[in-house]
Amino acid sequence: MYLAKVLMEPWMAMKIEPGLGELLRYVSELVERGAEQHYQDMGLTYRARYTPVLRAIEAGAQTITEITARTHLTQGAISQTVSQMEADGLITRQRGADARKSEIHLAPAGQRLMPALIGHWAATFRAIEQLEQEIGHPLRLVLQSAAQALQHQDFSQRLSAAKRPTAAGVTGDA
């Protein structure tokens, strides 16, 4: 209740606005849920989380490190997804020239999925463009700009700066 006391007068109705992380997760969940429904409608046993990995493989990535670099996801998340995809028979891992690294390739089942998935992904981008038109904001561009700004100065640095006392002597810890 301390937050409510700080942000509002007692006579105001309590309304907590969702934070950035909550909104990003919620929008991501809504998009993923819609995609998952279409994968089911297409008769595919496929998870939306496989998409960044398959798109990276389709673009030429062959190792966890290369996939991580192309997708901007964590190496742990990619490793976990690759293990699930391997268990589902969509990809195979083979020792590369550097024995410390495995090369990742589409298994026959993964190859058979690609034509349907490529068509679905094209439709997905068209749907995103329609969403951007509807909301009047270039959502992907905004998110790319936010990512670039956070790569330049991460959120921890920004939060530390927001907690420093200002000229008026007020901090973000008020």
pLDDT for position 174? 46
- Confirm if 38 and 44 have CB atoms less than 8 A apart: no
pLDDT at residue number 101: 82
Q: Give the CATH number of domain 42-122.
A: 1.10.10.10
Instruction: Give the chain's residues under pLDDT 70.
Output: 1-14, 167-174
Give tens-digit pLDDT for 95-115: 877 777 889 999 999 999 999
Question: What pLDDT is attached to residue 155?
Answer: 95
The pLDDT value recorded for residue 11 is 53
Residue type, 143: L
SS3 of the chain: the string is: CHHHHHHCCCCCCCCCCCCHHHHHHHHHHHHHHHHHHHHHHCCCCCCHHHHHHHHHHHCCCCCHHHHHHHHCCCHHHHHHHHHHHHHCCCEEEEECCCCCCEEEEECHHHHHHHHHHHHHHHHHHHHHHHHHHHHCCCHHHHHHHHHHHHHHCCHHHHHHHHHCCCCCCCCCCC
In sequence order, what are the beta bridge partners of 106?
Answer: 91
